[in-house]
A and B are shown apart, each in its own frame.
Chain A
Amino acid sequence: MSTETTTTTTATSRFNIWEWIFTTDHKRIGILYLIGSIAAFIVAGLMALLIRIEQSSPSTLLVDPSEYNVWLYFHGAAMILAFLIPGLTGFAANFFLPLMIGAKDVAFPRINAFSVWLFYGAILLALLSFVIPDGPDIMWTAYPPYSIITEGNTAFYVFTVHLLGFSSILGAVNFLITVIYMRAPGMGWNQLNLFVWTTVAAFVLQLVFIPVLAAAVTLLLFDKYLGTHFFNPDMGGDVLLYQNLFWFYSHPAVYVIFLPAVGILFDIIASMGKNRIFNYKACVYGGIGGIVLITGEVWVHHLYVSGMPDWIRIGQMVTTLLISVPVGLIVLSMWGTLYKASITYNTAMHFTAACFFLVLLGGLTGIPLAMTAITVHLSETSFVHAHFHFIMAMFSTFALFAGIYYWFPKMTGRMAEGVLGRIGFWANMVGVNLAFWPLFIIGVQGMPRRYPNYERFPQFEPYHDVATIGAFIIAVGMACTLINWIYSAFWGEPAPANPWNSKSLEWTHTANPPGPGNFSEDPVLDENWSPYDYEAK
């Protein structure tokens, strides 16, 4: 056992910019991911407000549609690729995964540093969309032939995806090796935190599926700028090829976001409920493992009305519906972990509790959308829009925010349990329901997506108005939350060593915040250790 002592840094120690730029410390890299992804979140959130203002009137209100399409593009691409994925697999995995498995750092710290700076390069490239005269207006999906013939600068989209993809692949290799080889002595696979399991699953998906997306957008680049014809039917190409390649990655990407979000929630429920995970093995091997197995066989549900052959539209209806089996096992474990728990409600647990309802709303509305014939009417309407905002956008954002609150003392050494945080939570919770319930209703009645001008559907204006009010309430909630974090990081009440009395390694064995090398003594665990062992002795 090492007797080496480590110095503990605190958030108030002298700030040195070079230490941050050249850092290879997984915790600082995690914080860099957090700052970058929150920055992307703020800009993409402002785009959402602009979109909602535009939608408050049936006619074109603010700008011409080409500018509106750039907002839609940026909102979608940035929220998914630059906020949710880097926030969950960049920030959360970087900061906490090594702490949870008792490792001093990741396996390849310098590659890790390279990953985060690639991510920043991608964010810069994405932000340039607003500066260049012909920003991409191709939605986050970039379907050809439009993305090829548009005057918008598709290359910025392609290179952003390349940089983010490269960053994620490096991260995936790094973290998978870290978990396989750098667990504390004695830590078996069935003793891992569920957040570690879900992160492993997310990175397996990234490693397998990102190259497909990279190939798809590269072909797009060739078609637009080098005159090839992969997607040009006049020259023997096929427009559907792109959609298949794109969704072959982008459906699994939903689980790259969903799984780590669920992992964070499990750790919070167990810590705040002082309870063991209900049916751990079913959740890990049946639930998380099941999703990894099935998720590559369901992408055609994004192409139900794209003229695909009938046999595959029906075949993937069945596989898509079957996703409910592993997701159901995860949900049962979530619910079961509440059973006979002893729950304390901090701000993290408030966000977590909200996620129980968001996952029901978002998940269950996915069932009709899994059915080919039902989707014929619902696809490309606001119903889809509301569905994926509940399950992917709001559920995952709430889970990430819950995680930030839960680990705030670990990151900063200070508490963030102020009243501003609670106001932020309730504003978000009310705003989300106001913003997206109306979209379900008008979606079923046929309100199309991506319409700056809906003069032909004047009857939907009141619903859009409610949604717009909801969006602004969300904005208030987000502002309260961000201000609360920034204030608390510098002036919050100092945190006790283990404020939630958690049994997880990052709380029991490291300082707040952990110093270089994380552990003052190398943790050695026995076979009975569990991060969820709260049983009264």
Chain B
Amino acid sequence: MNRITRILFSLFGVLAAWPAQAQNYDGINDPATGWDHLWNEVLIDITVIGVIFGIAAIYMMIRYRAKSPEDVGSAKPLSSARAWGWALIPAAIFMADDFFLSAKGWTLWNAYRQVPENALEIKATAQMYSWEFDYGNGVLADELLVPVGQPVVLRMTSMDVLHSFFLTEFRVKEDVMPGRITYLWFHPREPLETFVTCVEFCGTGHSVMATAVKVLPVDDYTAWMTEAKAEADAEAVADAAGTES
């Protein structure tokens, strides 16, 4: 027992020391880069644990095969001190890793929830099975167009059932529901054409509830917005005229 105990304990020691040496990152710029960074760290964490335990299992499964049907195992009962040691030390190591990951996760979560002050605010409304984006100046669009370089915050609600706004490229997602307003933000840094999908089951059209998301160069965005604003104003005028007549 002693040799194996020593080996295992030193492996746990390595495992415990590893996070301390892991690279710290400060000043997360936005959720997407923070996510990629933390994901890689967590992936290393779980791979190390998995490989250690996997190799240990394979080794013991082969090493301790019965030589004859009458053979019995020869593990001795643990002394009281060893039993406590084998409970408390691993528990402390697992807990250390848990708190380490909690701290990292919390830091990144703060980045997810703290919207930059200069963010462009857009209202998103979901319904079976489409999205609508309200720019707050009378412009309504069924596609999400945003300018490069400015953080975007979406204030979201639903007209009917649960939906969920998922933008893979920016690693953001939040449920959209009636009676509550939820939010998420992302920071588009380069021109991009992608799409938003619904990822909370919402009925027969769930898998086709998607719409384009376009990150435009600032000039293109301004041109689009000017045109859309003019159209919206003209419609408002026409509507007002229609109401009067």
A458 at interface, CB cutoff 8 A:
no
At the interface, yes or no: A256 with Cβ under 8 Å from chain B?
no
Task: Tell me if A492 counts as interface (CB < 8 A to partner B).
Answer: no
The answer to whether A276 touches B77, judged by C-beta atoms less than 8 angstroms apart, is yes
B136 sits at the interface (CB 8 A) = no
Asked if B75 and A321 sit within 8 Å, CB to CB, the answer is no
B64: which A residues are within 8 A, CB to CB?
A: 273, 338-343
Q: Give the residue among B31, B67, B71 with the most A Cβ atoms within 10 A.
A: B71
Residues of B within 8 A of A353 (CB): 57, 61
- Give the residues from 17 to 46 in chain B that come closer than 8 angstroms, CB to CB, to chain A: 31, 34-35, 38-39, 42-43, 45-46
Is B132 part of the binding interface, using a Cβ–Cβ cutoff of 8 Å? no
Q: How far is the CB of A389 from chain B (nearest CB, A)?
A: 17
Name the interface residues of B95-114: CB closer than 8 Å to any CB of A.
95, 97-99, 101-102, 104-106, 108-109, 111-113
CB of B10 within 8 A of chain A? no
The residue in chain B whose Cβ has the minimal distance to the Cβ of A65 is B204
A371, B75: Cβ atoms under 8 Å? no
Is B116 at the interface (CB under 8 A from chain A)? no
Closest to B177 in A: A239
A35 at the interface (CB under 8 A from B): no
Also in contact, A371 and B206, with CB within 8 A (given A273-B64, A353-B61):
no
Is A376 touching B171 in the complex (CB atoms < 8 A)? Answer: yes
**Min C-beta distance of B241 to chain A, whole Å:** 33
Complex contact A274–B61 (CB within 8 A): no
Decide yes or no: A380 and B164 within 8 Å by CB, A325-B91, A338-B64, A365-B46 being known contacts.
yes
Please report the C-alpha to C-alpha distance between residue A53 and residue B178 in the assembled complex, in whole angstroms: 34
Distance in angstroms from A383 CB to nearest chain B CB is 11
Question: Is B87 part of the binding interface, using a Cβ–Cβ cutoff of 8 Å?
Answer: yes
- Give Cα A450–Cα B91 distance, bound, in whole angstroms: 37
Q: Tell me the A346-405 residues at the B interface (CB within 8 Å).
A: 353, 356-357, 360-361, 364-365, 367-368, 370-374, 376-377, 379-381
Known: A314-B106, A331-B53, A361-B50. A534 touches B83 (CB 8 A): no
Q: Which residues of B contact A536 (CB under 8 A)?
A: 72, 74
B interface residues, tally (CB under 8 Å): 81
Contacts A281-B83, A534-B73; A376 near B65 (Cβ below 8 A)? no
Q: Could you tell me if B173 and A275 are in contact, using CB atoms closer than 8 angstroms?
A: no
In the complex, the answer to whether B203 meets A150 with C-beta atoms within 8 Å is: yes
Provide the bound-state CA to CA distance between A282 and B90, in Å: 11
Q: How far is the CB of A237 from chain B (nearest CB, A)?
A: 8
Assess the B31–A376 pair: CB atoms within 8 A. yes
Bound-complex Cα distance A148 to B8 (A): 54
Instruction: Kindly state whether residue A227 has any CB partner on chain B within 8 Å.
Output: no
Chain A window 434-460, contacts with chain B (Cβ cutoff 8 Å), 1 for yes, 0 for no: 000000000011101111111110000
- Interface size band for A: 35 or more
B175 contacts A345, C-beta separation under 8 Å = no
Decide yes or no: A450 and B83 within 8 Å by CB, A343-B61, A376-B173 being known contacts.
no
Distance to closest chain B CB from A29 (angstroms): 34
Q: Is the CB of B60 within 8 A of A373?
A: no
Nearest B residue to A146 by beta-carbon distance?
A: B161
For residues 137 through 170 of chain A, which have their beta carbon under 8 Å from a beta carbon of chain B? 137, 139, 141, 143-146, 149-150
A455 to B92, CA, bound (A): 48
Contact A360 B50 (CB under 8 A): yes
Tell which of A275, A377, A453 touches B75, judged by Cβ atoms closer than 8 Å: A275
Q: B242 within 8 Å of A by Cβ?
A: no
> Complex Cα distance A238/B195, Å?
30
Q: From residue A386, how far is it (CB to closest CB) to chain B in Å?
A: 14
Q: Is the CB of A276 within 8 A of B75?
A: yes
Taking the nearest CB of chain A, how far is it from the CB of B229, in angstroms? 30
Contact B171 A317 (CB under 8 A): no
Q: For residue B65, which residue of chain A has the nearest CB?
A: A343
A446 and B101 CA atoms in complex are apart in Å by: 23
Complex Cα distance A341/B101, Å? 35
Nearest chain-A residue to B178 (Cβ)? A233
* CB–CB B72/A340 < 8 A: no
Whole-angstrom distance from the CB of A348 to the nearest CB of chain B? 14
Which residue on chain B has the smallest CB distance to residue A501?
A: B69
Q: Is A534 touching B179 in the complex (CB atoms < 8 A)?
A: no
Residues of A within 8 A of B53 (CB): 331, 335, 360
Q: Mark B218-241, 1 if CB is under 8 A from A, else 0.
A: 000000000000000000000000
A272 CB → nearest B CB, Å: 9
Q: Which of B38, B72, B74 has the most CB of A within 10 A?
A: B72
Enumerate chain A residues within 8 angstroms of B101, measured Cβ to Cβ. Answer: 321, 367, 370-371
What 9 A-B pairs have minimum CB-CB distances, sorted nearest first?
A233-B179, A275-B73, A446-B168, A282-B87, A451-B207, A371-B105, A380-B199, A373-B108, A342-B71
- A residues near B, CB below 8 A? 64-66, 69, 137, 139, 141, 143-146, 149-150, 233-234, 237-240, 273-276, 278-279, 281-282, 286, 305-307, 310, 313-314, 317-318, 321-322, 324-325, 328-329, 331-332, 335-345, 353, 356-357, 360-361, 364-365, 367-368, 370-374, 376-377, 379-381, 444-446, 448-456, 501, 534-536
